[in-house]
Structure 1
Amino acid sequence: MGLRANPTYRQRRFGAEVRAIREGAGLTAGEAAAVMGMQASHISNVESGRTPLSRERLRALVEASRCKDTTYVDALVEMGQASGKGWWTEYRDRLRPSLLDLAELEDGACDIVCYEPMFVPGLLQTEEYATAGYRDGYTSASRSEQDREVEFRMHRQAVLSGEHAPRLHAVIHEAALHVSFGDPAIRRGQLIRLLEAAELPNVTLQILPFDGAVAFGTSFTTLRPSVRALSTVIVAHIERSLYLGEADSLARYNDWFAKLCEVALPSTSGERRPGSYSVKDSCGLIQRLLYPLL
């Protein structure tokens, strides 16, 4: 089997976990290769995600290591054996690989937590809002490329209503609720969409108000599978988003998200009578902002 030219995030993450197990056991590449019955030169390709590792060889490495967490090992075996195929596969060679990585992570997540200081999270955007964001943004993509990315974003949203839908907990700064892209109808439709999303049993929505605590300046999303140690934090950046999976990074962003939840307005159901616009909770604030646009 030839080496992968462009391994996916999942494949690179699997390799990083294999390396962590090897290093945790104090094994050199040569010693680990001997344990697994393979060439030492093969190890670097496994650890970089450029070639797979059989379940038998992975379990042999685990047996020689200090790793005793069978739940983690079983999940890692599954990660290594996954085909990586899903609805997003049809977009391969048509979209940036990072978007396909995101869709695959969302598909395998049990929980998705995110913080957005300026825009509504992609999983909760209306098509009009997403389209305007691409049209008025700084992307150099062509109109057809923009339309394809909007289509992809709308397709991603199906994960919230699937058979094994993850729980989504979003903290959004109030600034994001004022974005209209010059069209009040876009803003109105987006605020209504947020209220509808808040009624879903697997969605928790909190707003960080202008008059609340100092906002955290960078948007980030944590995607958590059934085994939390295999979670990933995606930190948005104008050049290239960061994908973080190290234990200290996960702990740091989990702590920051917990603090954001503490200072944001509490989440409540979007089910309210018209005219009930209390700003003491998140949906009340959204409704108060929506009222002048109706």
Structure 2
Amino acid sequence: MVARSVITIRQERLGKELRKLRERAGLGLREAARATGINEGKLSNVEAGRAGVSAERVRFLAGHYGAGGTPLVEALEVMATERVRGWWEEYRGRLPRGHLDLAELEHHTGHLRTFEIVYIPGLLQSGEQLRASYNDSTWGTPEEQRELRVQFRRRRQEVLDRDDFVYEAVIHEAALRIKKADSGVARRQLKHILEQAERPQVTVRVVPFDVDNFRVGFAPTILGGPVPQLDTVLMDTPHGGNFLDAEAQLERYRRAFAAVQKAALGIVESKDFIHRLAQQM
């Protein structure tokens, strides 16, 4: 068996979920190998995402772990049969892996929820805003790399064209007011958000400055999986995005997003708010 030279985030997640099933069954790697008759090294590679696994093998392992027939295992079987080489693979080796991981997750999710405090959500950025966001060469990013990132994000935005994709963005007023360029760019960005919010699958809501008792100080993005256990949370940091999938982490950020939704204006009120703000720019 030849180990994969490139492991995608979905392959990694499939292996991780199989490991979780084994651990919940109280089996060590060596015990599981003996019980299933699978070579211990191969089983280790499968759980690390370094080796492929068939849907039949997923079902076989889940049965030995006492988890057969569940919606989670059925979803893992589907993941095992995927043979998708997405458009993002064109950028492998040219952009950091996190960019490709996010595009892959967006491709496979049907429901994405995001909250932003100081940035316009990437999928809602206008072309001008995109270039302004990547135009600060003081961060040491060469011009060619900045242009590549702009191009990549424009490709990512095509996910909003999907009829089966539900996008829910909650944006703090601070992000709407911060000017990455001049007032004209900021005004057109707000109008772009309003245009995108007219799509039936896109919801945009605003958390204004004057909301009382607002305590959420971080900005999670929750990418929905086919079952809740396969959700993924993205947390942006100055050094890149962190993808989180532990059950406790998922639950924490679901609660945080529920608090954000509770604090936000309604859909119509949010559109009116953005329209008024655009007029002030």
TM-score, length of structure 1 as denominator length: 0.90
1:232 alignment counterpart: 232
1:201 alignment counterpart: 200
Cα distance in 2, alignment partners of residues 116 and 234 from structure 1: 12
Letter in 2 for 1:129: Q
Instruction: Number of aligned residue pairs: give it.
Output: 280
Letter in 1 for 2:117: P
Letter in 2 for 1:146: R
2:15 alignment counterpart: 15
Q: Give the gaps of 5 or more residues in structure 1.
A: 269-280
Q: Deviations over 1:222-255 (max 9, x none)?
A: 1002222111001111123211111111111111
Give matches, 1:1-294, under 5 Å. Answer: 1-136=1-136, 139-164=139-164, 166-213=165-212, 214=214, 216-268=216-268, 281-293=269-281
Cα distance in 2, alignment partners of residues 236 and 40 from structure 1: 36
Cα distance in 2, alignment partners of residues 90 and 263 from structure 1: 40
Contact map agreement 2:14 2:80 (CA 8 A) in 1: yes
Percent identical: 38
CA-based RMSD: 1.6
Deviation (angstroms), 1:284: 1.2
Letter in 1 for 2:197: A
* Counterparts in 2 of 1:235 and 1:137: CA distance versus 1, 3 Å: farther
Contact map agreement 1:174 1:209 (CA 8 A) in 2: yes
Deviation (angstroms), 1:261: 0.4
Cα distance in 2, alignment partners of residues 287 and 215 from structure 1: 26
Cα distance in 1, alignment partners of residues 80 and 62 from structure 2: 14
Cα distance in 1, alignment partners of residues 136 and 188 from structure 2: 18
Greater Cα shift, 127-136 or 27-36 = 27-36
Greater Cα shift, 65-74 or 53-62 = 65-74
Contact map agreement 1:84 1:104 (CA 8 A) in 2: no
Deviation (angstroms), 1:215: 5.0
Contact map agreement 2:36 2:64 (CA 8 A) in 1: no
Q: Deviations over 1:110-150 (max 9, x none)?
A: 11000100011000000110111111275322111111111
Cα distance in 1, alignment partners of residues 127 and 222 from structure 2: 23
Contact map agreement 2:223 2:231 (CA 8 A) in 1: yes
Cα distance in 2, alignment partners of residues 138 and 12 from structure 1: 34
Cα distance in 2, alignment partners of residues 39 and 211 from structure 1: 60
Contact map agreement 1:219 1:235 (CA 8 A) in 2: yes
Cα distance in 1, alignment partners of residues 215 and 140 from structure 2: 29
Cα distance in 1, alignment partners of residues 180 and 187 from structure 2: 11
